[in-house]
A and B are shown apart, each in its own frame.
Chain A
Amino acid sequence: MNDPRLVLFALTALFSIWAVMARSLLTSAIMLALVSVTVSLIFFDYGAPWAGVFELSVCAGLITVLFIGAVSLIRSEEEKHPESRARFYALPLAAAIFAIAGWFYLPPFFAEMAGWARPGTGGGTIGLALWDMRRQDLLGQVLMLAAGVFVIKSVFPRRTEK
């Protein structure tokens, strides 16, 4: 069993519980960034550096900045009308119940699922996969980004004087 990777998985679960339970939305956003950092470390441990770099720069960087920007815009309202915390405090209990109940059913199922894998050749580089074999995906990604820009543009239209 690969112990460092399992420690990173456990840290990811811990930070995500913290992100859900945090009273302040700002703390929640920062904990989410830490979740992204641990996830990217897991990617590096798997031997997937490209995924790790993208996760670290985009998810831990850009998305955190977006979250912090949005939270700072709505913070006054959140402080005036905070949510009821009782259901969030029940999360460790609910997660423990899920973990104990799942312990009996999930690992045997996943162990069986591991046998379904059709091992690939493992050859090629990420450049070959992205630029040659999955070139259409890049067009899809560009269109997706354009759709995102269009959403932002239509949600915040420029006001024109009549």
Chain B
Amino acid sequence: MSSFAMEWYLIALLMFIGFYCMLVSRSIVRQLVGLEIVSKAAMLALISAGYWSNNLVFAQALLITMIVIEVVVVAAGLALLVKNFRLHGSADIWKLDSLKG
């Protein structure tokens, strides 16, 4: 088996772990942990694709943009978590129903 196929197989496994975490957990923090793991898998896929197609410079430029977006998403998610916790005393996604009509 080629190195590329083996690396992408492990990346797929990493992505599965992240999706599983997002699927089974009710805690907002763990949802964000799952999102981070999926995002790490996507970053590895990006750099691996850049490496194997001899385009590592552009892959790195794209990855820096991706890291900035990831930081903003996580910061916004955690800010919403803390705000929700202060208002309702809970970090459970099933209890995020205060806007329900």
Contact = CB atoms under 8 A, between A and B. Distances in A.
A107 B48 CA distance: 15
A13 B47 contact: no
A73 B82 CA distance: 7
B9 A102 contact: yes
A137 B64 CA distance: 10
Contacts of B12: 102, 106
Nearest to A49: B60
Interface string B38-78: 00100110011111111111111101110111111011101
Contact of B29 (A28, A42, A110): A28
Interface string A119-162: 11111111011100110010011001101100110011000000
B13 interface: yes
B71 A155 contact: no
Contacts, number: 237
A74 B82 contact: yes
Contacts of A124: 57
A98 B71 CA distance: 29
A25 B3 contact: no
B40 A39 contact: yes
Interface string A87-109: 11001001100110011001110
Contact of A48 (B5, B13, B59): B59
A17 B61 contact: no
Contact of B54 (A35, A55, A91, A121): A121
Contacts of A120: 53-55, 58
Q: Which of A70, A95, A129 has the most CB of B within 10 A?
A: A70
Given A46-B48, A126-B57, A141-B68, A28 B33 contact: yes
Interface of A: 1-2, 5-6, 9-10, 12-13, 16-17, 19-20, 25, 28-29, 32, 35-36, 39, 42-43, 46-48, 50-51, 54-55, 58-59, 62-63, 66-67, 69-71, 73-74, 77-78, 81, 83, 87-88, 91, 94-95, 98-99, 102-103, 106-108, 110-111, 113-114, 117-126, 128-130, 133-134, 137, 140-141, 144-145, 147-148, 151-152, 155-156
Given A121-B54, A151-B72, 18 more contacts: A9-B11, A16-B18, A47-B51, A48-B51, A50-B64, A70-B29, A70-B81, A73-B85, A78-B91, A103-B9, A107-B5, A110-B8, A110-B9, A114-B2, A120-B54, A122-B57, A141-B65, A144-B68
